[in-house]
Chain A
Amino acid sequence: MNLPLLTIALLLPVLGAVVVAVLPQAGHGTSRVALPKQVALGVSLLTLAVVGYVGIAFDTDGARYQFTETHEWIRVFGAHYALGVDGIGMTLVLMTAILTPVVILASWYDGDDGRWGANAFFAWILVLEGLSICVFAATDVFLFYVVFEATLIPIYFLIGGFGGPRRSPAAVKFLIYNLLGGLLMLAAVVGLYVVSARSAVGPTYLLSELTTVPIEQSTARWLFVGFFVAFAIKAPMVPVHTWLPDAAEEGSAGTSVMLVSILDKIGTFGMIRFCLQLFPEASQWATPVVLTLAVVSVLWGALAAIGQDNIPRLIAYTSVSHFGFIVLGIFVLNSYGQTGSTLYMFNHGMSTAALFLVAGFLIRRRGSQLISDYGGVEKVAPVLAAMLLVAGLSSLSLPGLSPFISEFLVLQGAFAHGWWWAAAAVLGIVLAALYILLMYQRTMTGPTVPSVAGLKDLDVREVAALAPLVLLIVVLGFFPQPLTSMIDPAVAATLEQVGATDPAPTVPSAPSEAAATEQESPE
């Protein structure tokens, strides 16, 4: 307990990245030196071991924030190097640590044809892992903001350096959108400083101290807007989502996983951690608008996904839809919704990662991102087709796979808040079945198109990369308790801070039945 485990967990990948960067260039010439890749994989597995230990040692009945470390950082700013995880943060740190080795294994050769070689690719991935762990564990707003912005750099170079032909504009678009959001948040962060400096607490950015600072109503609402816009761009929500499809189309599969499955979660995590806790009154005030945007995102993302012919763009739009669900669950302000949302973040991370990676394997083989270029792949590459089917079914929340549980909880929460929200969002599930199954049908079934006739099936490495994801999706589909028992107390504490209580069960379990009926309909 005395070891600063979270610091170790975030420093390991960062230092590993430095080592990988200075090792002799991999994949050059005839002798493919695999050492940097092996080091990268080793470092990420080591990180997973540390994080895994933290996850096991995490006491679900213990204090809210565990493994805390607090050191004064910049006195004048009131900034601290403060880390600590509650159940929500723990879940996301775990997700990051699980996905990174998967991405490294799956992207084994993706870095070779990039602009600067494989070393840079894996080094940036590791840097990103370290920063992401830091962002999910930060309990100081300043530290959070700094790392939140710093994550832009690795992903910017990952998109711009390794991907499709129009990656530079995509990278710049990504950077400008996110920087704009980040800068608006900076204004709010600065405002928070001024508020705390004027209060009796004195200038501080520690979350634990800031929550005790009384903030004037109108100020709090403005600050909330600053934070929320940044998180909405990050998450991304309609109407500020347009950078994501471009980035996903141009980035390599591994980059897209890091971006969509991990980085975008910072947005929704930020909402639950900072928007709700720092500005409880403003959050309740903004709820109608946020829920509307969330539902619009659900439907818009799904409809746009149906219309896509480009596979990565399609997956990006499905994520817009899924993020709509997550935001919906957060802002219905009850425990079903928020537990569901947190679980959703984890499950979406796994299922979308699987989807992106399988699609990436497919695209790498055929060299085309367009659905119309494929057909009948399941006959030549049955394993690949099976993996795509599992990933796709998890994305449309088939019961028995883990995303079902989280989506169910979110909808249950939405019903408890107001049935019309849930009724609108439930349409998203119907549409999800459409976009996934249409894609599967058009690419995998039917007569085999000549251009995919010689397609090789997945090799051992690729299956090994996907196996943990599929395993988790299935196991957590039946047995989500390890995660929910971690998340529940954190959500309860958050809701207590917001001052929201679960609606009294006047009609016992009525909302859940309604949700269940709606849930079943698309199947």
Chain B
Amino acid sequence: MTSSLTALVTSAAAEPAAEFAKPSIDYAALSPLLVVFGTAVLGVLVEAFVGRRSRYLAQTVLSVAGVAGALVATVWVASNLSATGTAARGGIEIGGAFAVDGPTVFLWGTILVLSLVSVLLFAERTLEGGVTAFAGQAAALPGTSAEREASTKGLEHTEVFPLMLFSIGGMLMFPAANDLITMFVALEVLSLPLYLLCGLARRRRLLSQEAALKYFLLGAFSSGFFLYGIALVYGYAGSMGFADIAEAVTGRIGGQPLLLAGIGLMAVGMLFKVGAAPFHSWTPDVYQGAPTAVTAFMAACTKVAAFGALLRLFYVAFGAARWDWTPMVAMIAVITMLVGCVLAITQSDVKRMLAYSSISHAGFILVGFVGLTSVGSFDGTRLSSLQSVLFYLVTYGFMTLGAFAVVTVVRDAGGEATHLSRWAGLGKESPVLAGVFAFFLLSMAGIPLTSGFAGKWAVFTSAVSGGAWPLVVVAVLLSAVAAFFYARVIVLMFFSDPIGEGPVVMSPSILTTIVIAVGVAVTVVLGVYPGPVLDLAATAGQFVR
């Protein structure tokens, strides 16, 4: 212990002596990040200089263009990745701060496509009668004359678009981060705008603000855990870089308690973001309180980004210690699935139910995550753990976005009618929409010929390949429980009689319609013919080290 500490001190002392070399930055490889952040900054300038009337249009166009541009850049980066095949390919950028490799690019693409769809949901104005679903003037206290004035004037916060873009930027950074500091910065960059966005609902503002505060407090708390974990891991390995940490872990130098405590604390921070039990308690409240467009964005994109980062951290930095953390993750997976599936049964609010459903999905993804096949065993014909998780994230993202988009159009006088009892007999009133929602639910339940089934199949397979079959048996049994509460909603919509003065299904503008259509299309295509996306996930290969 002492000797290793001395070694650390000497090495730390030796380093500053060397000339500070300016890291070379491959701007091209990071172009998607730069495009998104650049657009976000432009968005702030638009807020400052463009007149109120034309802001909405300017911001919408700018955001769509920015995200689409970043997507193009991602495709371009992907086509330029160094090697081909299933081996790790890509490069480490900016002195080890970022890793732009196959999985990164795949996750970037997923996040950007989901974001692009989410932007449309943010820009929906028809449903609220000509304004967005965000508060007219967030600073005005609920129930005051200032608030009434803001709503009669038809004010709207177009700042949500740059905020969203900053958050997207953070999400792109998160899975690409290749050292602990960058990872922490990314975590905060993606979280802070989200805290704010959660509190901006136009309707039910107190609920929304409560959600924002809860999310912020708990999020800050979990960031604290994460940071403490970083400190301990640094203390163990003497470096922030994943490569150095991996080397230290492989060599088993230094005190194990330091490493294990560090892994545990960092896991708390990460698992909080993905909404895994027992760090899930914010999820239902925040998903319910936040404006539904934000909930959709958060549920889909944050989860993709956070799982991407979780995968890189645990596979790359702590890969050699996997016998230490696999039991922990397996346990978390079981608890998460249990909490998600069982508590969802008792929910009476559709957004809360979807929140618990998303918790259970986090559990299923963790099942695939546990099935880590050792890096060398990957031969290209078999499904790898990384591949299955990446694929599941895509399927999950699109069905969740679609389901929340459906929630936004079922409305009554008080805004969205989210109480489940209000959905009774919806199948009679508007069979198409209810059918679409039922389809998303069936997909979440994992019925074959939907993307949810292909995703479940993939993660279960990778877990069984990794020898975690007891976990799969548990997951399978809990899937049946989950199917029960999804079926319950379908029963409610199709087999119950409509209540009098029930909610009406508003016909949304083309924007929300596109979101729902994309959700359905992806869910069908990935269910019937998942091959191409699975192959794409396979070509993503392994993490570069």
B484 proximity list for chain A (CB < 8 A): 172, 176
Segment from B88-96, B297-305, B407-415, B474-482 that makes contact with A? B474-482
Complex: A112 Cα to B489 Cα, angstroms: 25
| Contacting pair A190 B461 (CB below 8 A) | yes
Report chain B residues within 8 Å CB of A203: 381-383
B54 CB to closest chain A CB (Å) equals 43
> Is there a chain A Cβ closer than 8 Å to B12's Cβ?
no
Query: Chain B contacts of A116 at CB under 8 A?
Result: 427-428, 431
Instruction: Give the distance in Å from the alpha carbon of A6 to the alpha carbon of B483 in the complex.
Output: 32
Q: A152-B447, A161-B494 are in contact. Are A176 and B472 (CB under 8 A)?
A: no
Give chain A residues whose Cβ lies under 8 Å from the Cβ of B529: 73-74
Residues of A contacting B: mostly? helix
A33 touches B (CB below 8 Å): no
Query: Quick one: which of B286-308 are within 8 Å of A by CB?
Result: none
Give the contacting residue for B449; candidates A77, A146, A186, A187; CB below 8 A: A146
B535 within 8 A of A: yes
B487 located at the interface, meaning its Cβ lies under 8 Å from any Cβ of chain A in the complex: yes
B442 and chain A: residue at smallest CB distance: A153
- Note all chain A residues with C-beta closer than 8 A to B465: 194, 197
Contact indicator A150/B447 (Cβ below 8 Å): yes
**Is A428 among interface residues, defined by CB-CB distance under 8 A?**
no
Subset of 11 A-B contacts with CB under 8 Å: A73-B531, A76-B534, A77-B530, A115-B428, A116-B427, A156-B487, A172-B484, A187-B464, A187-B469, A187-B473, A191-B464
The contact of A190 among B472, B480, B487, B534, by CB within 8 Å, is B472
Complex Cα spacing A503 to B479, Å? 44
Where the two chains meet, the residues of B that have a C-beta atom closer than 8 Å to any C-beta of A are 381-383, 387, 427-428, 431, 442, 445-449, 453-454, 456-457, 460-461, 464-465, 469, 472-473, 476-477, 479-480, 483-484, 487-488, 491, 494-496, 529-531, 534-535, 538
- Beyond contacts A168-B496, A172-B488: 19 other A-B pairs, Cβ-Cβ < 8 A, are A74-B530, A74-B531, A77-B383, A77-B457, A115-B494, A116-B428, A148-B448, A152-B447, A167-B495, A168-B495, A175-B487, A176-B487, A183-B446, A184-B476, A186-B476, A187-B464, A187-B476, A190-B472, A203-B381
| Distance (whole angstroms) from the CB of A131 to the closest CB of chain B | 10
Neighbouring A residues of B387 by C-beta, 8 Å:
76
* A396 interfacial contact with B, CB 8 Å: no
A residues near B531, Cβ cutoff 8 Å: 73-76
CA distance A157 to B538 in the complex (A): 38
Could you tell me the distance between the alpha carbons of A183 and B534 in the complex, rounded to whole angstroms?
A: 22
Least CB distance, B28 to chain A, in whole angstroms: 31
Q: How far is the CB of B474 from chain A (nearest CB, A)?
A: 10
Contact with B along A151-179 (1 / 0, CB 8 A): 01100110011000001100110011001
**Once the chains are docked, how many angstroms separate the CA of A175 from the CA of B446?**
13
Establish whether residues A190 and B495, one from each chain, have CB atoms under 8 Å apart when the complex forms: no
A contacts, CB < 8 Å to B: 73-77, 115-116, 145-150, 152-153, 156-157, 160-161, 167-168, 171-172, 175-176, 179-180, 183-184, 186-187, 189-191, 193-194, 197, 202-203
Contacts of A172 in B (CB 8 A): 484, 487-488, 491
Q: Smallest Cβ distance from A181 to chain B, in angstroms?
A: 9
Query: Which residues from chain A contact B476 at a C-beta distance below 8 Å?
Result: 183-184, 186-187
Bound CA span A203–B476, Å: 22
CB-nearest residue of chain A to B460? A190
Given contacts A116-B431, A168-B491, contact A179 B480 (CB under 8 A): yes
| Whole-angstrom distance between the Cβ of A190 and the nearest chain B Cβ | 5
A152 to B450, CA, bound (A): 14
Q: Tell me which residues across on chain A come within 8 A of B382, comparing CB atoms.
A: 197, 203
- CB–CB A160/B448 < 8 A: no
In whole Å, how far is A106's beta carbon from the nearest beta carbon of chain B?
24
* Closest Cβ neighbor of B466 among chain A residues: A194
On whether the beta carbons of B383 and A76 are closer than 8 Å, the reply is: yes
How long is the Cα–Cα vector from A194 to B465 in the complex, in angstroms? Answer: 6
Please give me the 8 A-B residue pairs with the lowest Cβ-Cβ distance, nearest first: A146-B448, A168-B495, A180-B480, A149-B448, A183-B476, A76-B534, A190-B460, A187-B476
A167 vs B476: C-alpha distance when bound (angstroms):
27
Q: Which of chain B's residues has its CB closest to A143's CB?
A: B448
Complex Cα spacing A115 to B478, Å: 31
CA distance A171 to B447 in the complex (A): 16
A75-B535, A149-B448, A190-B460 given; A183·B480 CB < 8 A: yes
Taken together as a complex, chains A and B put the C-alpha atoms of A73 and B469 apart, in Å, by 26
Please give, as numbers and ranges, the residues of chain B lying within 8 Å of A179 by CB-CB distance.
445, 479-480, 483
Q: Out of A73, A146, A160, A194, name the residue touching B453 (CB < 8 Å).
A: A146
Report B-chain residues with C-beta under 8 Å of the C-beta of A153: 442, 447
Q: How far is the CA of A152 from the CA of B491 in the complex (A)?
A: 14
Which of A77, A148, A160 lies in contact with B494, CB distance below 8 A? A160
Determine whether the beta carbon of A160 is less than 8 Å from that of B472: no
Q: Which residues of A contact B461 (CB under 8 A)?
A: 77, 190, 193-194
Most B CB within 10 A of own CB, among A77, A145, A194:
A194
In the complex, what distance in Å separates the CA atom of A390 from the CA atom of B178? 77
- CB closest chain-B residue, reference A72: B531
Residues of B within 8 A of A115 (CB): 428, 494-495
Residues of A within 8 A of B381 (CB): 197, 202-203
- Cα of A193 to Cα of B388 in the assembled complex, Å: 14
Of B472, B473, B491, B538, the contact of A171 (CB 8 Å cutoff)? B491
